[in-house]
């Protein structure tokens, strides 16, 4: 179980019991931009993760649910 200050304990494999996590949800209007910024940072540090984040951004973009500002 990981630990989110907003959602409490969340079950995420390979994350320690008391490891803090920050969760972005597709309903969050700012999430897609935040992931894009993270992709830029990852790429600037030479991380291979940057490529896979394009898929994540596309998944968030294509989600059909209602979007709102974070609360």
Three-state DSSP string of 30-68:
CHHHHHHHHHHHHHHCCCCHHHHHHHHHHHHHHCCCCCE
Give the span between the Cα atoms of 65 and 24, in whole angstroms.
Answer: 14
> The domain containing residue 57 runs over which residues?
24-71
Question: Is position 12 within any domain?
Answer: no
Instruction: Identify whether 62 is part of a domain.
Output: yes
- Specify the pLDDT at position 7: 87
Model confidence band, residue 62 (pLDDT cutoffs 50, 70, 90) = very high
Looking at the predicted structure, is the pLDDT value of residue 32 above 90?
yes
| d(C-alpha 2, C-alpha 12), whole Å | 6
Band (pLDDT 50/70/90 cuts) for residue 36 is very high
The count of domains in the chain is 1
59 within some domain: yes
């Amino acid at each position: 179980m990981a630990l989110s200050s907003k959602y409490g304990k969340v079950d995420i494999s390979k994350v320690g019991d008391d490891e803090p996590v920050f969760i972005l949800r597709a309903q969050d209007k700012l999430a897609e931009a935040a992931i894009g910024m993270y992709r830029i940072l990852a790429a600037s540090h030479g991380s291979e993760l940057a490529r896979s984040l394009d898929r994540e951004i596309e998944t968030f973009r294509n989600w059909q649910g209602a979007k709102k500002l974070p609360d």
